[in-house]
Amino acid sequence: MDLSSNSMLSVLIGCQLSSLTCKCLALVSMVLFLSTVLLHSFPGYGVIDWINQDFILSHSLLLSSNYEGIRRGKFLEVPQIVWGLNNQKIAFARACFTARMLNRTLLMPSLSASLFYKEIDRLQPISFDKVFKFDKFNSLCNGFVRLGRYSDLKNQTGMYDLQKGIGRKWTVERDMEQLKQSSRGHVDEHEVIRIVGKNPFLWHDHWPVKDYARVFECLVLVDEISKEADKVASKIRQIGRKLRSKTETVQSDPDFDTEGSSMAAAPYIAVHMRVEIDWMIHCKKLEQRSGINQICSSKQEIIQRVGNIVSSESPTVVYLAVADSLLNDSSILRGWKKWLLPFEKKKLRVDGIYKKHPYLIQSAIDYEVCSRADIFVGNSYSTFSSLVVLERTQRMMSLGIQNSCGIDVRWPSYAYNIPGESNGPQKWMTNMSDSSLRAISYGSNAISC
């Protein structure tokens, strides 16, 4: 026993044991003494068993075991994020992970309001905080990743341009090594590391699905956009409620509970219908290259499979999230079972809400409407559909549901391009244990049922 232990013991002996303070002091001292003895006797137990306690952190996000959080005086700048809404969300997440790996704050990037695949110079930039809540993001993702503003810069140590490699020779391993080297030495001394080159969506993916899911949870739409989605979803449920009231007494179905909402008795199905010409050309080529014949689906296949999901013949609105090029195609509204009533934004008379906004915001509204649906049906090779299902999977898992196979669950999702039971679509949940986003990103199959 060392001198400090002897001193403590002397104090205890001098105390009246009837004193409450002394009793507490005696108890603390005994615990400290026993802990010291046990740790010296069994050194292997002096470390928390992280694996058994499920405190596993993504190894790809940590450069060392003494990680102390995101530095606020070091920043990462990335190129403008482009393409569709969900490709931009993925690109943004990869930028966040890269900043975290370098232990830097990500400077708030510009998103793209317009959609031009080949004419980059025509992409209309839009600030991140015009789409998502900046402070809410930092609050929800506190300690994991962090966004900063350009006004935070002090311009004391200048900027370092980091060129991303391109081509087949730029492998995943080389990309990771570049990131590791940039996290130390003279590169790390700069206040800002600016990555130049290709869009972050095209960067190599080093991170597991769970990390992406965590960042996506922090992306909360600004009130202006969220309220627009509220209007569309409310209109859908309002129509459904009126249609049901004509044929039956309105009663809340527990499978479609909306926490006491007056719209609880008017569930709706959202279908992300990918049948526009450019998609069909792309998916046919993808089927030829991959040898997989379950990527494309015709309008008739989609209508038939969706019709075999719901056995109830109560009138149900089917919201069709389709490209604007299909709004004048009446064939997408024909051939449905009599109790399934299809509406797209034009027939729903909410197209004026969408027309007020650029492409990115329109897509964000549709994403919200699909995410909130009681049943969602999409294409498993679509990034839009895949991220909607990821969000719905998180929601189910928060209720303890790990697998939707063979059971009725709240917020079920289906993939119409894969045949399931009773000639319906395949049930679909995201595999949250995947080591990379390839399983749910553009051009990949994500069925996990």
Residues 35-74: pLDDT tens digits?
444 433 333 323 223 223 233 333 334 433 334 579 999 9
Domain boundaries, the chain: 69-205, 223-248+265-442
What whole-number percentage of the chain has pLDDT above 90? 58
What does the pLDDT average to over 202-231?
Answer: 96
What value does the mean pLDDT of the chain take? 81
Indicate the CATH number of 223-248+265-442 among 3.30.2010, 3.40.50, 1.20.120, 3.30.420: 3.40.50
Of 35, 37, 36, 16, nearest in space to 26 by CA = 16
* pTM attached to this predicted model: 0.79
What whole-number percentage of the chain has pLDDT above 70? 76
